[in-house]
A = this chain, B = another copy of it.
Amino acid sequence: MGALTTQADRSVAKLTEEEIIHRVVQALGVATPPFPEGPGGDCAILDTTRGGRRYRASTVDSVLLGRHFDLACAGHRAGAKLVNRNLSDLAAAGATPSDGLLSLLLGPDVDVAWLEDFAHGAGKAAAKAGLDLVGGDICRAPAGMFAGTLALQGFAHRVLTRRTATVGDALFVTGQLGGSLYGHHLDFTPRLAEGEWLCGQGEVTACTDLSDGLAKDLPGLLGPKLDARVDLTTLPLSNAAQALAKADGKPAHEHALNDGEDYELLFTVATDRADFLERAFRQAFPLTPLTRLGATEAGSGRLLDLATGEPVKAKGFGHFG
């Protein structure tokens, strides 16, 4: 069963808008609170004591059929991806997930059972993270089209962000990088627990999540006044990156730098506390790989290769169309 169907009686076109909403809400399951905190009104109504913390982190992201997953992808994997890639942004901020709004653009040929499976996967991923899906909308789109957009709110006592590192900070990354197309881009666990924990450590100075690849996301973390000098031989290579390297002959570290969709955390730590932070992290998360990649220095947002001293440019950076 794929996202689209040629059988009219399996498609969303046979249903009314109300029937589609009903089925989606049912499939979202426990992730959807009852009205008026959940769907059914003009707005979802939430108590502002919710979260009970000083900062709210707000983010939005989409998945589109043919771009973020293909026709053969099971609905629940696509739904989980939409939720988890958004949660990865909250993880980078160190925020605890609170509530989200789900918006769907549906072509008339979207398969109803696939859509329910999508909502089921989204609801399950949300429930696992303590995220309430409080509302949304559906909208008719041209045939062949399916897009899901999720807007999230999370809360934190302190919030991690980008561009706040200083000269000499140590640079760390969680997990293993590269080759996400082999499956990781659909099946990953957002680093929420790690992000919340890092947020509680005062020596962590900046954080982002890796969605476009280390080479492209690092400048965003650093901002315009810092470089990072990185030992490329220390890059944590995923098995998929190594397999891809064998298949296409490119060095595995290029996959780790450029493949994107790693959904790992990239963060900086005050240099005199870096050893302590590293030990404490390993104790708190014995199953999460942690790699110290190098250190920041005065510069202009560049990734410098420790071996050559040369800047490493992001590959695959191109035009939008």
Tell me, in angstroms, the Cα distance from A41 to B211 when the chains sit together. 12
Beyond A60-B151, A64-B105, A93-B43, whether A318 also contacts B48 by CB under 8 A is no
Interface contact A42-B208, CB-CB below 8 Å: yes
Contacts A62-B105, A106-B320 known; list 9 others, CB within 8 Å. Answer: A13-B321, A42-B59, A42-B162, A43-B57, A45-B56, A47-B56, A48-B53, A62-B137, A67-B141
Per-position 1/0 for A88-108, Cβ under 8 A of B: 011011010001011101101
Interface contact A141-B59, CB-CB below 8 Å: no
Chain B residues, CB < 8 A from A42: 59, 89-90, 92-93, 161-162, 208-209
Beyond A64-B105, A142-B144, A149-B103, whether A44 also contacts B58 by CB under 8 A is yes
> How many residues from A make CB contacts under 8 Å with B?
76
Tell me, in angstroms, the Cα distance from A188 to B99 when the chains sit together. 30
CB-contacts of A246-279 with B (<8 A): none
Q: Which of chain B's residues has its CB closest to A36's CB?
A: B161
Binding site for B on A (CB under 8 A): 11-17, 19-20, 35-36, 40-51, 53-62, 64, 66-67, 89-90, 92-93, 95, 99, 101-103, 105-106, 108-109, 134-137, 139-142, 144-145, 147, 149, 151, 153-155, 159, 161-163, 208-209, 317-321
